[in-house]
Structure 1
C-alpha cells in the first residue's frame, strides 16, 4: 500500500518518516497538539473523496500531511466552510470517518485509522485514543437534498467568487431549499417573503414574478444561475436556493433596478443517486406533483444527470379563475477531466390562467367587496410558454485560476386576454370595462465569460475577477386588441362592483374589430467588468471594481437610446472577531433606459442610481446561526415623467426630471438556535420619498412599500424527545400600511398573517417517507398584498384566505 505526502513545499523522505509516525501512534506516545499555523483562515472545501480533500487542505493551510493511501480508500470527507484554524478544519474534515491525526516530532501530520478498544484488548501495543468532540460541524453538503439547514455561509451572486458571506462587504440573503420545503412554497413570492425589504407585487398572479426590494420595483427581469432571464413565473421545482443581493448590482451585472438582484440557483446533477416523488393537495382543488432524479450515468461518475419536473393544477379563491403550470428541466454534467467540466441545461415551462386584475379603490381603501369577486369574464385567459437551452464550461488552469463561460438562449410566447375596469363611479359602483388581448413573442441570447484568480502581492491576498457579457433580446407583438366604450369599439358589458357579477353577457366581439400589432422592441448590450477583493492582515477585506456597459434600445413606440456608463463599486469589511464583521460600501450604477418620447433638443439620459450602505454581520457556532443588520440609502435619478407642457404631455412627450430616495434599516437572521430549533426572521424599516417630481407628487411615498415589515418562521424537531422525524413549525408575516399609488390617494391596510405546519418523516426500507400539513393564514385574516398597476381603477390584489396544503413525499 503506497504512502501519500500532501504539500508541494514539503522536502523530506515520506517513506522513512511514515513508519516512525505509525509506530509512535500505535504506542500512544503523544496527543494531538495544535497544528502549525494556528491562525484562522477561510475555508470552502466541499465534501469529496478524502484523498482529494486532504490534498486541498494541505495546499491551503500549508500542512505536511502523511497517510497510507489504503487508509482513506473510498472514504468521503465532511465539507469545511467558514473561518477555522488548520486544526479545526482537519477535525471537521475527518469527523465520523474513523480517521484521526497526530503530529510528529518532525512537524509532519499523520492521518490514520483510529485505534479502538478491541485492539487494546488484543494486546498492549495500542491504547484507546482520547475522544474527539467537534462542535459546529456542518452535517450536510450545501447541495445535499436532505440538508435541513436554514442558512448558508456562502453565496456567489454578490461577487461571482467563492467568498464567504461574512467576508463580503455587501448585503446578501439566501433562502435555501429547506425553508422552501418546510413552508411548502409554490410561488417565488412564497420563498422571498423570508427576505427583509422584499414586498410582493403580483398577489396570486401566475404570469410574472416581480418584486419590490428596498422600495424599488425590480420589474420581472431576474436571473437564473447568473444569467439574465426573460419575464416569467418561475417554478421552484428546479431551484436549490434563492440568493438576493441588496442594492444596485450594476458593477457585475449591468442594467438593473437599484433595489437589488434576485438570482435563482438551480439544482445540479449529483454524483450520488437520489430520487424523489412528491404529491401535494390542498384548498381550491390544488394538485401539484413534483419529481426529482439525479445520479451518475457512467460507471466512473464522469457523466451525471438530473431531471426535475412539476405539474400544478388549481382553482383559486377568486371566482372562475383557475391556473395550470407544467415544468421540466433536464441537465447534464460532464467531468471532462479533473480540471474541466461542461454543464448542459434545458428548461420548458408553460403557465395557463387569466391575469387577475384585482379590485378597485373606493375612497382611501380597497373597495368593500368580497375578495373572491372577479371583475373580468370567464373567457379571459392566458398562456405563456418558455424554452431555454444553455451550456456552461468551467476550467481550472491551476488551484488558483479558473475560467467560466456560459451561453444561453430563451424563447417565449405569451397570449393573454383580460377584462378589467376602465372607469368607476365610486358612489354607485357602476363601472365600464376594458378588454385587452396581445400575442407576444420574445427571444434572447446571452453569453458571459468570467476569469477568477487568487494570488499574493506584498503580503496582500487578492481574488481578482474579470469578465464580460453580451445580451440581445427581441420582442414583438403579433396582434393585439384594445376594446372599450371610450375607444368607439365593442366593449365588455358594464358591471356594478357591489352586485354579483353576471358573466357572459354580450359585449366584446374581436371578429368585428381590426387587430393592432406590429410593435417591435430590440435591446442589445455588452459589458466589461473587473473586481479585486483584497485581504489585508487576515481581518480586513477590501473590494473594489467597476463595469462599463454600452446598451442600445430600439422600439417602435418610443425613443431609441444608446447609453454608455460606468458602474463602480467599493466596499470595506473588518472582522475583529470570528463571529463579527463590520462593513460599508458605496455603489453607483446605470439602470433602465428612458425610451419614452422626448421633445427636440432634450438630452436622452438613462436612469442612474447610487447607494450607501453600512452594516454588521454575525456568525455563531461555525456558521450554524447567521445574522445581518444593515443601514442604507438609495437614490434613483433621471426618472421619466410627463412633460411639464400639457400640450406636449398629451402627445406622449416626457422629461427626465424625477428622483426618488429610499432609506432604511434591515435585519435578517437564519439558522439553528439548537440542534432541534431552526428559525429564519426579518425586519425592515423603509422610508421612501419622491424627492424631485414635475407632476405634483414630490414628498409622496412610493407605492406598495410599508414603512415597517417583518417575519419570523420557527421550526422545532422533536427528535431530542425521542419522537424521531416529528416536527412542527409556525410563522408570522407582518406588513405596515402601504400607499396604493404614486399620488398616495389610497392605502392598503396593514396586516399580520399567521402560518403553521406539522410534519413527520420515517424510513420504509431504503426510502424516506415524509408527511406534511401546512395552514397558511391560519386566522383567515383579510388583507391585500399589493396594488399591481398602482392605479385606483383596478389592480389591488387580495391575499389568500385560510388555505390548507398537504403533502406526501418519498425519497431514496
Structure 2
C-alpha cells in the first residue's frame, strides 16, 4: 500500500492546475482563508409546476462564478461570500427564474421552495444528455443522498443510454463497463455467478431497487434504468454481505408525460425478443402515473440441443400524495425455461479439446424458474433538509431442475457414467426497511446523516430426489456411445428440508464536513441473525432438526475525504464486515462468523469542466479467520490438539485469505458526439495462512487482470445526423478453476497424496461492434459480438466447463411513441 501513495499523489498534480471550473461549479480554492470565514450557505429545492423535484437545473448567483446543479430530489446547496445577490435558476425546458437572496457569513439560509414552470418555447431536435458525472450522481443503493465524490468508497453507475447503445442482453454485457467486477462462472448455463475483488457475490450481494433478489436466474436487463455498483464493504448498510461489493439493478420508473417504445430484437441462433415499454399518467391524473415493461424471448444456442424461453413483466405505479409524499409500487415477474448445460467436460482436470457446440446432456433435461416480487417504497420530505424513506418488499423464487449429472469422474478414455438427477427450491423472502436522512449544522460543522433499521426473513424449502444410474457415454465421441439412452427418467423424492433465516439490523452514519476541504465519515451497524434447518427424509420418514444458531456482530466504518479543489477527492477508509459459516465447531455448536477487515485509498477526479471522470482505488481485504475442516495432523507426527475423533467433520476458524488490488475507472460525458468508458483492475487473492491449503495459492475464478474500453460516436448536424457507431473491448486475464490442492495426512500422520488440481484458464479479449441509425420515431441498431471469435470458458470446479459464445450478430428495431 505504501508503494501506491507516491503514484496517487502524482495523479493529483496535473489536476490542481487544471483550467478553472465553469459557472455551474462551486469554487472553493480561489479565496483566502479570511474570506472563506465570512462565507455563508444557501440551500433550497426546485419543483416543477406539478410539484415534482426537478433534477439538473443550474442554480447560480448572477455575475459570479458561484453555482451548482439541483439533485435528483430537486435540492441544491451552494456556498458564497456574505452579500446580496440575484439567484438565477435555469435549465432546458424550464422558464428562467430570478430572485433576490442574501448570504449571511457563517450561517445557512434556507430558501422558500422555488417553482420552475415549463418553458413555452418550442424545442425542435434537441437531445437531452445527462448532466451528472460519474462522481456527481448519488446511487440509490447508497441510501444517503450524497454524491460519490464526497464518499470514501469506489462507486460506479452505468446509465440507461449506455445500456441501449451497447444493446446489452445479460449482466455480463453490463459488467464489461465496470472494472473489478466479473463473471466467475455460469454453472449449468442457467445463471451468471458474479464476483468482485476476489469474493463471490451471491444473492446476499445482489439487489433490485434496493431489495435483495435471488441471482440463481439470469435477470432481465431490458428493464434497467441504471446499474449501480458499490465496491468494497457495504456491511454497514446491509449486514452480512461479501466483502467484494454489491450491485443494484434499478428498473425504469413511471412518468407523467405519455410515451414509450415497441421493439424487436433478432439474432444468431434463432433469437427473437419483442419488447414493450409504455408510460404516462393514469387517465388525466396529475397524481398517479404508471409504467409497464414487458418482453418475451425465445432462442436456440450454439450448443447442440440447448434452447431457452422466457417471459418478463415489470409494472409500476407512482402516487403523488401532495407535494412532499410519494408512494412507488413495483412488480416484477420472470419465468425462465432453459436447457441445463454443464459444458464440454474435463478429464483429470484437463479441458477437453472438442467441438464448441458438443452437448453432453439429454433431450429431456429442463430447468424451470419463476421469480416474482412486489415492493412498495414510501418517501416523505419532512422539509428541505430531512427525508423519511420506507421499503417493504416480497420476493418468491421457485426452481425445478431435471438434469443429467455433471461430467465429473470421467475416465481417461472419455467414458462418463451419467445419472439422472432432480432438485427443487422454493423460497419466500420478506424485507422491511426504514431510513431517515438529513443535513444540518453544528457550529462550523456540516452533517449528512443516515439512521435506519431493517429486518428480513427467508423461508427456503429444498427438495432432494434420489439419483438414478442412467447410462454411459463417451464425452470425446458421444455419438458413438452404444449405451446411450433417450427415455425420460422419474427420480423419486428423497427428502424435504426447510431452512428459515431471520435477520435484523440497525445502523447510523454521519458524513461530517470540517470546512470546505475535509470530510469525515463514521458509522456502525449492529446485525442479528438466527437460522436453523428441519429435514424430513422420506425413506424412513425421519425428521431431523439442526440446533438453531444465533449470531450477531458490529460492523464499523470510518473514512476521510480531502478535497483540495471542488472537483478532486483523495480518500482513505476502513470497514469491517462479516459472513456466516455453515457447519459446527468441535463442541457441536454453530461455527462463529468470519470477519473481514478492509482498507481502501483512492483519488476521484472530474476533469475538463466535468466532461471526464477518472477514479483510482487501491484496496486490501483480509479474512483473518476463514472456516476450514479441522485436520487431525498439522504435520507428520504433529497432532492437532483441536481435533476430536467424535466430531471428525468439525470446522475451525484457522485460515486466512488476503485480497489486494488496484482499480481504475474512467467515464466521459457526451461531447460533440463522442463518449467513452474505460477501466482496468488488478487483483491478487490468495491463502496467506491455512492448515489445509498451501500458503500463497491463489483462490479460484479470479482473473489477475481485467480491462475494458468502449468508444461511441453519434453524427451531429449533417445529412447523416442520427447515425452512431462504436466499439467495445473487454479483456479477462489468466485465472484458475478446478480445485485447490490440499495438504492431507492419514490416521498415522503420514502425508497422503491429494488428487485435486487447478485448471489454468488462458486470458482472452472480446471485441464487439455496434452501429445504429435513428430517424424520427424509428431506431435501428446492429451488433456484432465477439468479432475475433475468441474461445474461452467459464468453469466451475471441473464439472461445468461452459464455452463462451462464438461470433454472433443481432439487430434491434425500435418504434418510439
Mark yes or no: TM-score above 0.5.
Answer: yes
Q: 1:57 to 1:732 in 2, by over 3 A?
A: closer
Residue 252 of structure 1 corresponds to 237
Determine the C-alpha separation between the residues in 1 that align with 2:469 and 2:369.
25
Q: Distance in 2 between matches of 1:532 and 1:739?
A: 41
SS of the residue corresponding to residue 476 of structure 2 reads coil
The 3-state SS of whatever aligns with 2:605 is strand
- CA 1:675–1:89 in 2, change beyond 3 Å: closer, same or farther? farther
Secondary structure at the counterpart of residue 162 of structure 1: coil
Match for residue 807 of structure 1?
A: 812
Residue 800 of structure 2 corresponds to: 795
Q: How far is the alpha carbon of 1:158 from its aligned partner? A: 5.8
How far is the alpha carbon of 1:698 from its aligned partner?
A: 2.8
Asked if structure 1 preserves the Cα contact closer than 8 Å seen for 2:45 and 2:384, the reply is no
Does the C-alpha gap of structure 1 residues 408 and 693 become closer, same or farther in structure 2, counting only changes over 3 Å? same
Any idea what SS the aligned residue of 1:687 has?
A: strand
Name the counterpart of 1:165: 148
Query: SS at the partner of 1:577?
Result: coil
2:690 aligns with: 693
The reply to whether residue 772 of structure 1 matches residue 769 of structure 2 is no
1:496 aligned to 2:484?
Answer: no
Of 190, 195, 198 in structure 2, the residue corresponding to residue 207 of structure 1 is 190
User: Contact 1:636–1:660 at 8 Å: present in 2 too?
Assistant: yes
Question: How big is the shift at 1:456?
Answer: 0.5
User: Per the alignment, do residues 561 and 577 of structure 1 end up closer, same or farther by CA in structure 2, a change over 3 Å counting?
Assistant: same
In 1: Cα distance, 2:677 partner to 2:368 partner: 35
Q: Find out whether 1:432 has 2:417 as its counterpart.
A: yes
1: CA distance between counterparts of 2:316 and 2:689? 49
**8 Å contact kept, 2:349–2:738:** no
Among candidates 612, 616, 623, match of residue 636 of structure 1: 623
Tell me by how many angstroms 1:726 deviates: 0.4
Residue aligning to 2:572? 584
Aligned equivalent of 2:604, options 611, 617, 621: 617
Question: Which of 451, 464, 468 pairs up with 2:449?
Answer: 464
From 410, 417, 422, give the equivalent of 2:402: 417
Residue 480 (1) aligns with residue 464 (2): yes
For 2:515 and 2:423, the matched residues in 1 are separated by 59
Instruction: Give aligned pairs, total.
Output: 723
1: distance between equivalents of 2:43 and 2:188? 42
Moved more, 639-648 or 675-684: 639-648
**5 Å matches for 1:65-214?**
93-94=90-91, 97=94, 99=96, 139-140=128-129, 151=134, 153-157=136-140, 159-203=142-186, 207-214=190-197
Contact 2:409 2:416 in 1 (8 A): yes
Cα distance change on mapping 1:55 and 1:366 into 2, 3 Å: closer
Query: Aligned equivalents of 1:347 and 1:729: distance in 2?
Result: 32
Q: Are 1:218 and 2:227 an aligned pair?
A: no
Distance of 1:89 and 1:214 partners within structure 2: 49
Instruction: Describe the shift of the 1:480–1:42 C-alpha distance in structure 2 as closer, same or farther (beyond 3 A).
Output: farther
Structure 2 vs 1, CA of residues 649 and 285 (structure 1 numbering), >3 Å: closer, same or farther? Answer: farther
**1:282 Cα deviation (Å)?**
0.2
- Aligned pairs for 1:399-798 (under 5 A) are 399-425=384-410, 427-477=412-462, 479-483=463-467, 490-501=468-479, 505-506=484-485, 510-511=489-490, 514-556=492-534, 560-591=548-579, 593-600=580-587, 604-645=591-632, 652-672=649-669, 674-719=671-716, 721-743=718-740, 745-763=758-776, 768-784=777-793, 786-788=794-796, 790=797, 792=798, 794-798=799-803
Taking a change above 3 Å as real, the CA distance of residues 193 and 482 of structure 1, as seen in their structure-2 partners, is farther
Per-residue Cα deviation, 1:438-459 (whole angstroms, up to 9, x for no partner): 1221101110010111111011
Root mean square deviation, CA, Å: 3.8
Query: 2:365 touches 2:404 (CA, 8 Å); kept in 1?
Result: yes
Could you tell which deviates more after superposition, 432-441 or 255-264?
432-441
> Which string of whole-angstrom CA distances, capped at 9 and with x for unpartnered residues, describes residues 86-130 of structure 1?
8999667345656475979999999999xxxxxxxxxxxxxxxxx
Decide which structure has greater strand share.
2
SS of 1:433 mapped into structure 2: strand
Q: Secondary structure at the match of 1:191?
A: helix
TM-score w.r.t. structure 1 length? Answer: 0.81
SS at match of 1:519: strand
Would you say the 8 A contact 2:392–2:433 is kept in 1? yes
For structure 2, the residue ranges without an aligned partner over 5 or more in a row are 1-21, 30-40, 64-69, 118-125, 536-545, 634-643, 741-756
Structure 1 unpaired stretches of 5+: 1-32, 65-75, 114-136, 143-148, 484-489
Question: Distance between the aligned counterparts of 2:515 and 2:782, measured in 1?
Answer: 51
1:265 Cα deviation after fit: 1.3
Moved more, 84-93 or 494-503: 84-93
8 Å Cα contact 2:258-2:280 kept in structure 1: yes
Q: Deviations along 1:489-532, whole A, 9 cap, x unmatched?
A: x3131221111446993388754x54212111110010000011
Deviation string for 1:294-331 (max 9, x for gaps)?
11115342111111111111111111111111110111
- The DSSP-based 3-state class of the residue aligned with 1:568 is strand
Quick one: structure 1 residues 51 and 342, their matched pair in 2 at CA, closer, same or farther if it must change by over 3 Å?
closer
**Partner residue of 1:330?**
315
Whether contact under 8 Å (1:211, 1:220) holds in the other structure is no
User: Displacement, 1:340?
Assistant: 1.0
Aligned-pair distance for 1:219?
A: 1.6
Q: CA deviation at 1:51?
A: 9.0
Quickly say closer, same or farther: Cα 1:396–1:662, change in 2 above 3 A.
same
Q: Distance in 2 between matches of 1:676 and 1:564?
A: 52
Q: Measured at CA, do residues 759 and 582 of structure 1 come closer, stay the same or move farther in structure 2, by a change above 3 Å?
A: same
Indicate conservation of the 8 Å contact 2:261/2:816, yes or no.
yes
1:181 partner SS: helix
Structure 1 position 426, deviation (Å): 5.6
Q: Which deviates more from structure 2 when the two are superposed, residues 463-472 or residues 158-167? A: 158-167
